Structure formats: C-alpha cells, structure tokens
Amino acid sequence: MSTQSAAEALARTSNRLYALGWMRGTSGNVSVWDGDGLLVSASGVDKSALDATHAVATDGRGEPAPGQPHRPSAEAQVHAAILQSSGAKAAVHVHALSSVVAAARWPNGVPLHDVEQLKGIGRGAHGDPVIVPVVANSQDMADLSRRVVEAMDSGVPCVIVAEHGLYAWGADLSEAVDRTESLDWLFEHALRLDSLPT
C-alpha cells in the first residue's frame, strides 16, 4: 500500500469510527503500516474532520519523522508496540463506552463465551471461552505500552485499558475495524446478560 493510499484509508477509518460514536471530540487514534513506516492519526484533530493530511509518518517506535505539520497522537508509541508484538499491520484505539463499562465490571478480564458474534474476532461460536485482557491506565506511554504488550493474548486481538478504551488490531484497517465492531457488540451482550435477574 502506498503512503497516500494508507493515509486515505486512515482518514476514512477515523471518520467511520467517529460516526459510530467511538471517537467523540478528539479522542481515539488509528495507525497503519504503509510499507515504509507507521502512519498515525494526528493529535488533537476532530476525527469527523480528519483527512489524509492528518496521517503522521512515524518510525517503528511511534516517533514522528521531522518536518511534518502535525504531531502524531500521544499514543503512537502504544500503537507501535502493539503492531510490533502482534505482527498486525493496523490498529485502532476507540473510547467505546461498552469497553470501559465492561472493564469496570470485570477488571481482571472480560469473559465472552457461547455467542455467534465471537466469530467476528476469529473465535468459535460455542465451547471457545475468551477472556479479553484489561490493564490499568497510565499517562506514561512507555509504561502503558509495556502493560498492554504484557497483557496481550495471541488468540484475542484486543486489550482494554481500564477507564479509557479499547485497542484492537488486524491484518489491515478493515479487519481492525470489523473486530472493533464485533467487540462492542460482545461487550454490550455480556453486560446485558450480567444484568438479567437470576
């Protein structure tokens, strides 16, 4: 994928995730490998207005290349660590309310099981229990990167940061977004089941 194509895909993805209500204000961020390095959405930009010019070129550690008009998201380092550790080519970080509430309900990991939507994250619909890792938040990006990478499970393409939001990744941006959509549904399903009277 050329740098321009990757930048356009990053912008479309940011716009779409904003429209879903998961990147309110200037929250959330997106990253994608373009073949030469990592593109990360710019810091402080309303994702409904983000375009290809807001895709910031960084190295494999999330450090921006010099001479660009925008700074990458402060969480670029976390994206770089996730992609390096997982081998994925794209990641999204959203502030989906379902993920934050689910992490508050299950701070040691969100249990998901026996529902068809699990196929959306590459797991079996039945008899294949999943625990989505939850880590404590940190404003130190090196520390947060370490926590996320240490919690990652090769069979679960996501980590929730408590009181913050969800990171999900995939082979490309489409897969990362598809998984995010499935996860939002799965978290909402788990929370509703948990609220049913026994």
Distance CA(7)–CA(87), nearest Å, equals 20
Count of structural domains within the chain: 1
pLDDT-derived band at 35 (thresholds 50, 70, 90) equals: confident
pLDDT digits (tens, 9 = 90+) for 139-153: 999 999 999 999 999
Q: What is the pTM of this model?
A: 0.96
**CATH number of the domain enclosing 100:** 3.40.225.10
- Token pair 């895909």: residue: 9
Residue 183, SS3? helix
Check residue 65 and give its pLDDT: 94
The b/e string for 163-176 (b: 16+ C-beta within 10 A; e otherwise) is: ebbbbbbbebbebb
Task: Give the three-state DSSP class for 69.
Answer: coil
Q: Which amino acid is at 79?
A: H
Q: Which pLDDT band holds residue 60 (cuts at 50, 70, 90)?
A: confident
Report the C-alpha gap between 188 and 53 in whole angstroms: 34
- What is the per-residue pLDDT for 1? 67
Looking at per-residue pLDDT, the higher value among 35 and 135 belongs to 135
pLDDT at position 75? 97
**Per-residue pLDDT at 166 exceeds 70:** yes
Residue percentage of the chain with pLDDT more than 90? 95
Identify the pLDDT of residue 36. 83
Predicted local distance difference test score (pLDDT) of residue 4: 94
- The strands making up 165-170's β-sheet, listed across from edge to edge, are 55-58, 38-41, 29-33, 90-94, 165-170, 158-161, 134-135
d(CA 23, CA 18): 5
Average pLDDT along the chain: 96
For 41-57, the pLDDT digits (tens) are: 999 999 999 999 999 99
User: Is the model more confident about 35 or about 183?
Assistant: 183
Residue 72 in this model has a pLDDT that exceeds 90: yes
Closest by CA position to 179, among listed 93, 100, 104, 108: 93
Domain hosting 89: range is 3-195
